[in-house]
Amino acid sequence: MAAGLSLKPKSKASINGRPCIILKAVDAAQVLVKDIGTGENEVVHVANLKTVDDAEHKPSPPLEAIHPDDLAEARRRLGIIRPLLELGRGKKERIKKAAEEFNVGEATLYRWINMYREREQLSDLAPCNRKKAGHSKLNKKVETVVQSVINDLYLSKQKHKIVRVIDEVNRRCRALRLKPPHANSIRKRIKEIDPRLLMDRRHGTKAARDKYSEIRASFPGADWPLAVVQIDHTKLDIEVVDDVHRM
């Protein structure tokens, strides 16, 4: 656990780079958190929690300071993700459908949702902000190729390695007479994939649910960590007798 991190309810933290809010303690080593980006609850180990970087909460630039083209793109992105922001059940299917409809990678949609939900500011969706954060800007056609290959190869049960993704991006770009992106640009986009989506697509829905979903159960009297402690015991089919009388 990071130094200075508070585990009190409603405290803010970060898990795998994703902002979250601590809801309650589950036991001495785990807490229940709410992912700000997806709105879902999950049980995580306190050792994996980190403090929220102050840099993430710097004020966004005023809309007047954003280039009109970037502002128009931010509004377009918000229009795409707005129907997805409050989804509960069936969210994965709706995001997949939206990705196909707008020709955007599923990982990109999850990233936009996370970016907007954190502060709900239109400026956070502007491409200029993303570039300042160290995200290289690619030609739109090249970006489409990259996202398509990531979706086809990396986000699959075959679990292709990153080098295979890079090779396929280069091959498709050359076939379309496009300049292939730098390998690091592809690695950055893979690194930005939502961990739950990655687990779901590569290992299955059950594995993702087991790792990231809240364990829904209850036990009478267990209102705080270690309130109830149980010792496992198993009945054995044996008889114990007196060594003298055999009774």
Residue 163: CA atoms inside 13 Å, Cβ hemisphere, count?
Answer: 0
Between 37 and 130, residue with greater pLDDT: 37
> How high is the mean pLDDT of the chain?
80
Distance of alpha carbon 239 from alpha carbon 126, whole angstroms: 75
Domain limits, CATH 2.30.30.140, in the chain = 1-57+217-247
Q: What pLDDT, on a 0 to 100 scale, did the predictor assign at position 38? A: 61
Q: Would you say 74 and 125 are in contact if contact means Cβ atoms under 8 Å apart?
A: yes
For the four alpha carbons of 16, 60, 129 and 134, in that order, the dihedral sign comes to negative
Between 162 and 238, residue with greater pLDDT: 162
Q: Burial of 135 by CB count in 10 Å (0-12 exposed, 13-18 middle, 19+ buried)?
A: middle
pLDDT tens by residue, 183-198: 999 998 998 888 888 8
Q: What pLDDT, on a 0 to 100 scale, did the predictor assign at position 136? A: 56
Query: What is the reported pTM?
Result: 0.43
Q: What pLDDT, on a 0 to 100 scale, did the predictor assign at position 59? A: 56
pLDDT tens by residue, 54-104: 434 455 666 767 778 888 888 999 999 988 887 665 677 888 888 888 888
Domain limits, CATH 1.10.10, in the chain = 138-208
pLDDT tens by residue, 104-149: 888 888 888 887 877 778 888 887 544 444 445 788 899 999 999 9
Q: What pLDDT, on a 0 to 100 scale, did the predictor assign at position 18? A: 72
**Does 1-57+217-247 carry CATH code 2.30.30.140?**
yes
The Cβ of residue 141 has, within 10 Å, a number of other Cβ atoms equal to: 12
Q: What pLDDT, on a 0 to 100 scale, did the predictor assign at position 205? A: 86
Q: What pLDDT, on a 0 to 100 scale, did the predictor assign at position 26? A: 82
pLDDT more than 90, % of the chain = 19
Q: What pLDDT, on a 0 to 100 scale, did the predictor assign at position 23? A: 87
Q: Are strands 12-15 and 49-50 parallel, antiparallel or unpaired?
A: antiparallel
Q: Would you say 102 and 147 are in contact if contact means Cβ atoms under 8 Å apart?
A: no
Query: Distances from the Cα of 229 to the Cαs of 79, 117, 146, 220, in angstroms?
Result: 50, 39, 51, 12
Radius of gyration of the chain (CA): 24
pLDDT more than 70, % of the chain = 83
Per CATH, which fold does 138-208 belong to? Arc Repressor Mutant, subunit A (1.10.10)
